[in-house]
Chains A and B, each alone.
Chain A
């Protein structure tokens, strides 16, 4: 069964017929949502799993990335016989609105034929979920078997289970949070300021100039990348080792391997991601506070839900630490919903949800059933 054909990968773009009313009060006309599906939707249409991607992710969950050629971002988790089994489930992964990977975002053209740029309305996590719901509607799926997401994908999973409670029977939330902390917002603000301080940003109107704020975006990515890794993981991988040299140069070259690595990560990111999209999506994450949307009580956010929940955190994740998952777990408990929570031990920090953690595979497979 483990052939590419059994994956049955399809890439589609949904053109929304009606404007999407956004949390900020504006509405977005002529919206597109790009999505990928794999596996087969059964006749009852009850075997669908929606996978939500992270900040700089995309809908290419199992197919090769169109720009980098790298394999889909979660091929280790999704496929025939894998924890999210495409032989049993129909997998949907939709690109979030605000992104630059196919769904409508600031780099897309507005009705006047010019890129939206900074005229693009500020969006929220719930707005992204509205885009996903539109895809479910188009596919005729009333209720998902589960919604699954890590990091920002986990925020979407929580938002969907809360705001569109009848649309899913389960939610699996990995390395995520129900609200952005001051520290989370702080790191994002560093990234945004780096982008906006780059003269090539031009108040967001860089599209016609053939060159964007690559330096700023690269620095934003470098700062963010540090938050995805653990201190021990960095020490293990790089330590104080020097990059292709015997001695320090007493200059500001990338003497250390970690410097070289971060510079490469920053630079390669600019090849595949739009700086304005980075601004808008980080803003959406900063605005995310599921309790605030429901009168300040997180338990109330799930009042209408009948879903099963599973939360997973990693002991080395300091971006969305275990306490955040516990917070959600306690709220779900208070709401009387069936909830599981586990803190897994993994050395890779926040990025653990994307990497080889066999214990995560077992939990994902077990929870999806």
Chain B
């Protein structure tokens, strides 16, 4: 699948968010966990008529979201998802946040409890540039996508595309879609663990 054409059409959205926006059905209900300043929520609301709600840990970002007329709760994905009812939204979205959580596996389970489907995007720690940096420098990589030194990075659970595939397989989670991005370009699933900077997965739990 070549997503490059379609997601480039979503002007102003980060590439992984553009992929998610492209694949959320019009009018769907959405919970964006770690919604930042509400860019994706606003795009889904304004462009696709979605009923959006969000969770964000940073108070200033929540303020920005409320200022855009979005409904956003200041909260922590590790603790506060428990208060959302089962299957209360069509899509639970976790973009670039999985690797910052204390228990990514539990957060993933919560997403699939709350949403009928879940979008998860994360930076791939097995990207060749990361590998090269570790191999040649022998130090934790600081790259374009991972710009912060190890001691102050919010990314406490780095993972690779293959790590994620293994986790969803172990948990019996169905992969309904997957997109892999290197910069603005898509790359194939086969080469993703080496070539993708970002991965986006659409997940569901059958039964």
Contacts and interface: CB of A to CB of B under 8 A. Distances in A.
B89 to A, nearest CB: 10
A362 B83 contact: no
Given A308-B71, A343-B74, A334 B85 contact: yes
Given A339-B73, A340-B62, A334 B67 contact: no
Given A308-B71, A341-B74, A369-B69, A336 B85 contact: yes
B177 to A, nearest CB: 27
B85 A366 contact: no
Contact of B65 (A308, A326, A340, A369): A340
B21 to A, nearest CB: 20
A310 interface: yes
Given A334-B85, A336-B85, A336-B88, A366 B59 contact: no
Contact of B74 (A308, A330, A342, A362): A342
A344 B59 contact: yes
Contact of A330 (B60, B62, B63, B83): B83
B70 interface: yes
The bracket for how many chain A residues form the interface is 20 to 34
A340 B68 CA distance: 12
B70 A342 contact: no
A114 interface: no
Interface in B54-102: 59-60, 62-63, 65-75, 80, 83-85, 88
A37 interface: no
A365 B85 CA distance: 30
A251 to B, nearest CB: 46
Interface string A340-355: 1111110000000000
Contacts of A359: 59-60, 63
A99 to B, nearest CB: 31
Contact of B68 (A310, A339, A343, A366): A366
Given A338-B71, A341-B74, A310 B66 contact: yes
Contacts of A367: 66, 69
Contacts of A365: 67
A333 interface: yes
Interface string B184-200: 00000000000000000
B59 A343 contact: yes
A363 B73 CA distance: 12
B56 to A, nearest CB: 9
A338 B73 CA distance: 10
A345 B59 contact: yes
B53 interface: yes
A329 interface: yes
Interface residues of B, number: 21
A334 B83 contact: yes
Contact of A342 (B66, B69, B80, B88): B66
Judged by DSSP, the binding face of B is mixed
Contact of A363 (B63, B75, B83, B85): B63
> Which of A329, A330, A340 lies at the interface centre, i.e. has the most chain B CB atoms within 10 A of its CB?
A340
A25 B75 CA distance: 41
Interface string A315-334: 00000000000100110011
B85 A342 contact: no
A333 B59 CA distance: 19
Nearest to A361: B63
Interface in A12-54: none
Contact of A340 (B60, B72, B88): B72
A369 B70 CA distance: 10
A315 to B, nearest CB: 9
Contacts of A362: 63, 66-67
B52 to A, nearest CB: 9
Nearest to B65: A340
B62 A342 contact: yes
A363 B74 CA distance: 13
B91 to A, nearest CB: 16
> Which of B63, B68, B70 lies at the interface centre, i.e. has the most chain A CB atoms within 10 A of its CB?
B63
Contacts of A334: 83-85
> Which of B65, B66, B84 lies at the interface centre, i.e. has the most chain A CB atoms within 10 A of its CB?
B66
B71 A339 contact: yes
B77 to A, nearest CB: 14
Contacts of B88: 336
Given A326-B80, A344-B59, 19 more contacts: A330-B83, A333-B83, A336-B85, A338-B53, A338-B71, A339-B73, A340-B62, A340-B66, A340-B70, A341-B73, A342-B63, A345-B59, A359-B59, A366-B63, A366-B67, A366-B68, A367-B66, A367-B69, A369-B69
Q: 10 tightest CB-CB pairs across the interface, nearest first?
A: A366-B67, A338-B71, A330-B83, A342-B62, A341-B73, A366-B66, A342-B74, A340-B66, A340-B71, A363-B66
Interface of B: 53, 59-60, 62-63, 65-75, 80, 83-85, 88
24 contacts: A310-B66, A326-B75, A333-B83, A333-B84, A333-B85, A336-B88, A338-B53, A340-B66, A340-B70, A341-B62, A341-B72, A341-B74, A342-B62, A342-B74, A344-B59, A359-B59, A363-B66, A363-B67, A366-B63, A366-B66, A366-B68, A366-B69, A367-B66, A369-B69
